Structure 1
Amino acid sequence: MLSSSIRRALPRLTTPIRTFAQGPAAGGTISDDLLAKLGSLSTQALVDGLWVMGWPSAQIDGARPLHPSHKCCGRAVTLNFVPARPDIAQDKPAGGESPEYEAFEKCGPKEVLVMSSVGPWESVGGDIKFLRLKQREVGGLVTDGSVRDTDEIINYGFPCFSYSTTARQGPAAMQPWECNGVISVSGVTVRPGDAIIGDQDGVVVVPAKVAEKVYSIAHGREVIEEIVKEELTKNPGPPGKFYPFMSGKIKVDSPLGQLLASKGITPENSNQFEGSADW
């Protein structure tokens, strides 16, 4: 305990200590309609949308689809693992009260469980644990760790994206510690409630707070890219005449600007042109 003289010498705190808000509401809420629209886009378009806005990389490189058919779209429910230690194992709530089962129960068809592993080859779970995710009809599972019992998980039918597969036991290396905190997955920050979109090219995290703007940019880019592909199919030639382009900086008198005008896309109805950006 500090002596009274030392306590008197310490400066008084005049402002309260600030903490960051957590939970889905802190970062904004993505409506079902917006979630469906984000899920209609490719992961490439979403990455490009965030890139145009100057946001950090949002692709989780350490998560690949367990099966070629797997695609996911949902709001993030997060789970953080920490390295195993005897006191951590003792202090973690036991059985069904464990943070991982707390996270499982928050999941449904429009949620994606995102699990932050302590290493790419460590197991975040297998068939018995993930049977509950099947029962919850989870929208997907994403982890930068590995999963066990691969055939059984594929049979469960929910989309799964992981670094790899393994026969290792997870509890020997790590323990689930926190549900719905802000986590890092392959160096990408995931906040509860963010949109998680996964396809054959990987998994992208769309921050809830800017999801509407990301969709607007990404959707506009996909429309333009389809027009460019259509033109190059009809009139074969180097793509460099039209592509690549920067959203918000397309010049009206450029070859791409003229091509878009012929399809009815102009600064009056698109935010892709120079001076028309709204981000």
Structure 2
Amino acid sequence: MLTSARTFLSRSGISNVAARSFAQGPASGGSISDDLLQKLGSLSTQALVDGLWVMGWPSAQIDGARPLSASMKCVGRAVTLNFVPARPDIAQDKPAGGQSPEYEAFELCGPNEVLVMASVGPWESVGGDIKFLRLKQRAIGGLVTDGSVRDTDEIINYGFPCFAYSTTARQGPAAMQPWECNGVLNISGITVRPGDAIVGDQDGVVCVPAKVAETVYNIAHGREVIEGIVKEELVKNPGPPGKFYPFMSGKIKPESPLGQLLASKGITPENSNQFEGTADW
């Protein structure tokens, strides 16, 4: 269910034809299983970015979101919330109280969901301790925003991972208001669809599109295994990494130094998609 511009327009008596122009096609890009979520969360954000890069997909890192504390890591399916600049008539049309798109989004979240909130600006507040108490109660998997948050110490104490551009004392409603729950977002120039995998760690936040999540995991996991072998070799035999690294997944030549090193560890074109001619994406 979406609470959005379309709902507001219909309540205002504007035709359904006009309302339909706000979106074409389904908002969600598919479903990711709990098992796949766990596997994606076991990888670093760098590995996931590399996996999408190998496939030729656009950038997936949400640059405007950093962890409030260094130990925070999140993984979950995206529940999205879009904010728009404040305007009196929109404030009048927005459902009041608990029916607001904001609280509709909160109630869709749980341990395997990450709430992704697109702010109208990096320093604008998307919320603070009273609102986010509900996210603590929902045991949310994480919160990601390209805006800022208030009451930082209390949010950290709530225990759920929070990734934001910064912190602020500003009041959010003075600048913006929630407009749509579970629509497609533009956050820091990155497109997020509801149901996409959101993974965050110390280096930032990455959105893995649901439709290709399994493929991204297979590429990224394979790359991390190879990078571990390369590091182990360079520790044992110090020297410039250029003999083995960087490499392109799906294009490693079996006769290359890296190919020979991997063969010595039992990784070959017969059991890996990382070699020339074995790419399955």
Q: Which residue of 2 aligns with 1:22?
A: 26
C-alpha distance in 2 between matches for 1:92 and 1:18: 17
> What amino acid is the match of 1:97?
Q
Aligned to 2:45: 43
Indicate yes or no: 2:214 matched with 1:212: yes
**Structure 2 match to 1:31:** 33
Q: 2:150 aligns with which of 148, 151, 154?
A: 148
Structure 1 length as normaliser, TM-score? 0.92
| Contact kept in structure 2, 1:23 and 1:193, CA below 8 Å | no
Unmatched segments (≥5 aa) in structure 1 = 1-15
Output the amino acid matched with 2:141: G
Q: State the identity as a percent.
A: 87
Q: 5+ residue gaps in structure 2?
A: 1-19
CA distance in 1, matches of 2:106, 2:164: 17
| In 1: Cα distance, 2:93 partner to 2:197 partner | 32
- Note if 1:168 corresponds to 2:137: no
- 2:136 maps to which residue? 134
**Corresponding residue SS for 2:104:** helix
TM-score calculated relative to the size of structure 2: 0.92
The structure that has the greater radius of gyration is: 1
Shift, 1:19, TM fit: 5.2
* 3-state DSSP of counterpart to 1:153: helix
Aligned to 2:221, what secondary structure does the other structure show? helix
**Match for residue 237 of structure 2?**
235
Residue deviations 1:120-166 (CA, integer Å, cap 9, x gap): 00000000000000000000000000000000000000000000000
Match of 1:263 among 255, 262, 265: 265
CA distance in 2, matches of 1:94, 1:32: 34
> Could you say what the CA RMSD is over the residues aligned between the two structures, in angstroms?
1.3
- 1:275 matched to which residue of 2? 277
Q: Distance in 2 between matches of 1:122 and 1:110?
A: 27
- Per-residue CA deviation, residues 15-36 of structure 1 (Å, 9 max, x unaligned), is x989522343xx1110011010
SS in 1 for 2:173: coil
The one-letter code sitting in structure 2 at the alignment partner of 1:22 is P
Which residue in 1 is equivalent to 2:75? 73
The answer on whether the counterparts of 1:22 and 1:182 sit within 8 Å (CA) in structure 2 is no
- Which consecutive aligned stretches of 4+ in structure 1 deviate over 2 angstroms post-superposition? 16-24
Alignment size in residue pairs = 262
2:189 maps to amino acid: G
